[in-house]
Amino acid sequence: MERKEKSSQDESPDTIKILVATDIHLGYMEKDPIRGNDSLTTFEEILRLAKQNNVDLILLGGDLFHDNKPSRKTIHGAMTLLRKFCMGDKPVEIEFISDQSVNFGHTPFPCVNYEDPNLNISIPVFSIHGNHDDPTGLGTLCSLDLLSASGLLNYFGKYSSLEKIEISPLLMQKGKTKLALYGLGAIKDERLHHMFRNKNITMLRPRENKDDWVNVFVIHQNRSKHGETNYIPEQFLDDFLDLVIWGHEHECRITPTSNGVNKFLVSQPGSSIATSLSEGETKDKHVGLLLIHGTEWKIKRLKLETVRQFKMQDIVLADTSLNPQDADIAKKAEAFCLEKVESLLREAGNERTGNVSQPDKPLIRIRVDYSDGFEPFNKHRFSQHFVDTVANPKDMVFFHRRRELHLESKPGM
Amino acid sequence: MERKEKSSQDESPDTIKILVATDIHLGYMEKDPIRGNDSLTTFEEILRLAKQNNVDLILLGGDLFHDNKPSRKTIHGAMTLLRKFCMGDKPVEIEFISDQSVNFGHTPFPCVNYEDPNLNISIPVFSIHGNHDDPTGLGTLCSLDLLSASGLLNYFGKYSSLEKIEISPLLMQKGKTKLALYGLGAIKDERLHHMFRNKNITMLRPRENKDDWVNVFVIHQNRSKHGETNYIPEQFLDDFLDLVIWGHEHECRITPTSNGVNKFLVSQPGSSIATSLSEGETKDKHVGLLLIHGTEWKIKRLKLETVRQFKMQDIVLADTSLNPQDADIAKKAEAFCLEKVESLLREAGNERTGNVSQPDKPLIRIRVDYSDGFEPFNKHRFSQHFVDTVANPKDMVFFHRRRELHLESKPGM
Ligand SMILES: [Mn+2]
Ligand SMILES: [Mn+2]
Ligand SMILES: [Mn+2]
Ligand SMILES: [Mn+2]
């Protein structure tokens, strides 16, 4: 399938417009006095973008919540924002075609929320769960079940069998455009890997006029290889798909790419908040505007403006003019790094988006390689210089020797 | 004010009909395989009664939830039932008159839910919090805030000042009938006691035509004296009130009574589930149908039919024909008690309500006084006889000596 840029079609009554986002991680570091509200701030921006762009629906790819049991404040914040932005008088123009008792059979109201006569929904939200907000405990429920029970969100892609899964698509139509939306909530990678290998994952397809449908699959798994079976190779996925929205991986690689083998393209929106101080999280963060017209589609990137800035730099002391034999080398190395951070802060200052809701203090990370006779300096004293200007003074410096970088902690995505 | 029985007025367009309940304790013993669903079962019955009786609103007096942080299953169950029973096309005929930004100013949507154009509410629920579900943690929120944010419940009576509280009534009108509804969520008894004593609790009143209003106050505190200041004497309450709905006390004493000093009457609905094996919880449980017509009102009792039966008996071994000097007296005492329990089970069997949702196994408690030379028998062996017929085999027997009854544990209400 080709992706053509036909802006004139964007507002056509046949165009399905979808705001696509993943890994919003509501509640991340909520107890931090500086960063505690970041996730909700950007969730609000995402919902506002959906409204401004007049989308037909919002599609979320898992990890809406950071904690499996989010605090009351976080659930309350999510509910408040959804009620504020996704309810209202704008009519939803998508016709829901598939059997809702199948698509939402796991919920007490197996009905898409905008067709419930008791709810006035302007933008329906559809979400799968991620590994952070997966179903657990009594009743095997997750936080999305609370949003679903209260009518604020359509939770799909919940399959409980550990042996065989048949994924039934949500079939939607707007004018001549037909969307088959497949979803699969996060499952342990190894287990899903084996289920795919053993041909126990089946994607059901509409019986008639198969070629009229645009087939989108949203999944939340490891995409990059972490061991033999601890990821899902793209090649496992069905080739009738047109687009795969890949959640879980936090680096924004939203522009759809082909692996050269499969016919489908993969878009990886990435997280809307940095939950680790790793390279991938330093990239600009975007959500997608997926436009489907007939059997053509494209994704426009929408840059998020409220994301806290994150600047990272690698410093190899041996590559500088510093001499490890100097009497006061520790002091000199510290001064060198101080200057580097000041420089990152200036850069951040120059690159602010101008959005009033963007937090002011950036995240800073310098990874200092002290191989070849250098010594680490005192991190705590170093951070004292930046308590008023950096969001994460306590963990801004990471010391390592050559080839130790893999030791850096990476919290689960 | 007189209470007159005028059934003809019950369906008058001027009659405000209110389903009154307190202490529903959702989630109580939810992990117990036998009793785990009791609280939700009876909450459903209460909501069904509200619907069948065509009430204008539901008023809850606190402790809707048993745990401050209820499980996802319990919150999910509450949301599901509220959405099922309290949304729909029946128009709400109550005109809301007071300033909603004052009444609900502590919530993100300071608006009574049935006036929100995005929600189709058929029965608005109004609730204060109890001591079990009071606001705590980040943001000082409680479970009712989640129900409020999602539009399923109107949470009122939340005052955070520890020094001075001005209670603004919810003013509602239906035809010629005017209701001023005052609410005060649970506060530590000692603190509230002192605030009352120091005249720091003020009940605001409508400026005009004060006498046209029926004034109802819902409160969730100790009513019976537990120490000098660890309760709220009825005499502390304003005498312009007509009716006080007293939550927290679990014994059903719903028929309004006067203390002979104040002009108002007090109705204590009691809990809808037994959360302790104490005398007060053995009484039949009711909710109230409060009918207000002009300035006259009455409360009809509605007996709850789905409450698990609870039979209790005191056995004083010294008062029986048993002889403590008998060689096999332990065996004989046990046999005597076995027969007593069998008799309680027969009684329970004869007194079933006939409601298909009433759980089958009753709660049983025998309090055995073994003073004057008797010995306790083996409780564990005793309970083995009743694992299939009693809901609480493990704690059905309580041994004590004379004057030790106060030692029996009573969980907080
Ligand atoms: Mn994830
Ligand atoms: Mn994630
Ligand atoms: Mn209580
Ligand atoms: Mn209680």
pLDDT in tens, B233-256: 999 999 999 999 999 999 999 999
Helices (H), B240-354: 329-350
CB contact under 8 A, A118 and B119: yes
What is the whole-number distance in angstroms between the Cα of residue B219 and the centre of ligand 4? Answer: 12
Report the pLDDT averaged over residues B42-68.
98
Please list all protein residues whose beta carbon sits less than 5 angstroms from ligand 3, which is an ion: B 63, 130-131, 248, 413
**Choosing among A138, A153, A158, which should be mutated to test the B contact, i.e. which has the most B CBs within 10 A?**
A138
- Shortest alpha-carbon distance between residue B383 and chain A (Å): 27
Q: What is the model's pLDDT at position B1? A: 39
All residues with CB under 5 Å from ion ligand 1: A 63, 130-131, 248, 413
Nearest residue on chain B to A87, alpha-carbon basis: B118
pLDDT (0 to 100) of residue B14: 96
Residue B2: which pLDDT band, with cuts at 50, 70 and 90?
very low
Distance, in Å, from the CA atom of A365 to the CA atom of A263, rounded to the nearest integer, reads: 39
pLDDT of residue B7: 55
CA of B60 to the centre of ligand 3 (A): 12
Contacts of A82 (CB under 8 A, 6+ apart): A47, A125, A147, A152, A153
Q: What is the mean pLDDT of residues B127-142?
A: 97
Among A117, A139, A149, beta carbon nearest to B79: A149
Q: What is the mean pLDDT of chain B?
A: 95
Q: Are strands B170-174 and B95-96 parallel, antiparallel or unpaired?
A: antiparallel
The two three-digit tokens of residue B240, written as one number: 């312009």
Answer whether B143 touches A (CB < 8 Å).
yes
C-alpha to C-alpha distances, B252 to A338, B49, B291, B348, B366, nearest whole angstrom? 70, 17, 19, 19, 21
pLDDT score recorded for residue B6: 46
Among the residues of B93-142, which ranges form H helices?
Answer: 100-103
Give tens-digit pLDDT for A273-286.
999 999 999 999 99
- Cβ within 8 Å of residue B394, ≥6 positions away: B383
Query: Looking at per-residue confidence, does B256 or A12 come out higher?
Result: B256
A227, A203, A206: which is closest to A217 by C-alpha?
A: A203
CA-to-CA distance for A95 and B386, rounded, in angstroms?
Answer: 57
Sequential DSSP letters for A185-236: ----HHHHHHHHHTT-EEE---SS-GGGEEEEEEEES--S-SSSSSS--GGG
Residue B28 makes CB contacts below 8 A (sequence gap 6+) with B35, B38, B39, B66, B273, B275
For strands B265-268 and B253-257, give the pairing: antiparallel
* Tokens encoding B79: 């949301």
How far does A145 lie from chain B, in Å, by closest CA? 7
Name the token pair of B176: 């010629």
Question: How far apart, in whole angstroms, are the C-alpha atoms of residue A242 and residue A228?
Answer: 26
Dihedrals φ, ψ of A91, to 5°?
-70, 145
Helix (H) or strand (E) holding B289: strand B286-293
Q: Are B40 and B26 in contact (CB under 8 A)?
A: yes
Q: Testing the interface with A: which of B84, B133, B138 to mutate, by most A Cβ within 10 A?
A: B138
Enzyme catalytic residues of A: 132
Q: What is the pLDDT of residues A384-413, one digit of tens each?
A: 999 999 999 999 999 999 876 655 555 567
pLDDT in tens, A83-112: 999 999 999 999 999 999 999 999 999 999
Centroid of ligand 1 to alpha carbon of A271 (angstroms): 9
The verdict on A109 touching B (C-beta cutoff 8 Å) is yes
Residue with tokens 């000042």: B161
How many whole angstroms from A259 Cα to the centroid of ligand 2?
Answer: 23
Contacts of A76 in chain B (CB under 8 A): 139, 141, 145-146, 149
pLDDT score recorded for residue A3:
44
Q: Which helix or strand (DSSP H or E) is residue A331 part of?
A: helix A329-350
Q: Is B120 on the interface with A (CB under 8 A)?
A: yes
Contact yes or no for A215/A242 (Cβ under 8 A): yes
- DSSP characters for A299-327? EEEEE-SSSPPEEEEEEEGGGSS--TTST
pTM (2 decimals)? 0.95
Per-residue pLDDT at B406? 58
What pLDDT score does B410 carry? Answer: 54
- 8 Å CB contact of A138 and B75: no
Alpha carbons A16 and A93: distance in angstroms, whole number: 9
Helix and strand numbers, DSSP H then E, in chain A: 7, 18
ipTM of the complex: 0.94
Facing residue for A119 by CB, picked from B119, B138, B141: B119
Q: Is the pLDDT confidence value at A2 over 50?
A: no
Sheet of strand A286-293, all strands in order from the earlier edge strand to the far edge: A154-155, A125-127, A57-60, A15-21, A286-293, A296-303
Output phi, psi for B262, to 5 deg: -90, 160
The pLDDT, as a whole number, for residue A404 is 67
pLDDT at B5 over 70: no
CA-nearest of B220, B160, B133, B209 to B185 is: B220
- Ligand 4 centre and the CA of B37: distance in Å? 17
For the segment A360-365, the average pLDDT, to the nearest whole number, is 98
Q: How confident is the model at residue B10 (pLDDT cuts 50, 70, 90)?
A: confident
Who among B80, B83, B120 is closest to A117 (CB)? Answer: B120
Residue A53 Cα distances to A11, A16, A353, A377, B30, angstroms: 10, 12, 19, 50, 45
Structure confidence at residue B339 (pLDDT): 97
| CB < 8 Å to B89, chain A | 117
Which residue in the block uniquely carries the two structure tokens 């041996």?
Answer: A318
Which of B121, B139, B150 lies closest to A73 in CB terms? B139
**Contact by Cβ (8 Å): A329, A307:** no
Return the bridge partners of A70, or none: none
| Residue B51 one-letter amino acid | K
| Residue B263 to residue B155: CA distance in whole angstroms | 28
Q: How many CB pairs under 8 A join A and B?
A: 96
> What pLDDT score does B208 carry?
86
Q: State the virtual CA torsion across A87, A93, A97, A98 in degrees, nearest 10.
A: -30
Mean pLDDT score, B288-308: 98
Max distance between CA atoms of chain A, in angstroms, equals: 80
Whether chain B has a CB inside 8 Å of the CB on A72: the answer is yes
Q: B383: which 2 tokens?
A: 């309970």
Pick the residue of A72, A113, A147 with the most B CBs within 10 A to test the interface with B by mutation: A72
Note whether A89 contacts B: Cβ–Cβ < 8 A: yes
Do residues A173 and A95 touch, judged by C-beta distance below 8 A? Answer: yes
Distance B223 CA to ligand 3 centre (A): 11
First to last CA, chain A: 31
Looking at residue A185, what is its pLDDT?
98
Q: What is the mean pLDDT of residues A240-253?
A: 98
Which stretches of B299-378 are DSSP H helices?
329-350
Tell me the pairing of strands B125-127 and B57-60: parallel
Q: A83 and B30 in contact by Cβ < 8 A?
A: no
How far off is chain B from A138, nearest CA to CA, in Å?
A: 6
Q: What tokens were used for B47?
A: 């909501």
- What's the pLDDT score for residue B405? 62
Range in A7-16, B244-253, B311-320 the model is least confident about: A7-16
What percent of chain B is predicted at pLDDT more than 90? 92
Rounded to the nearest 5°, which phi and psi values hold at B365?
-140, 120
pLDDT of residue B162: 87
pLDDT tier for residue A377 given thresholds of 50, 70 and 90 = very high
Backbone angles phi and psi of B26, in degrees to 5: -60, 135
Residue of A nearest to B108 (CA): A80
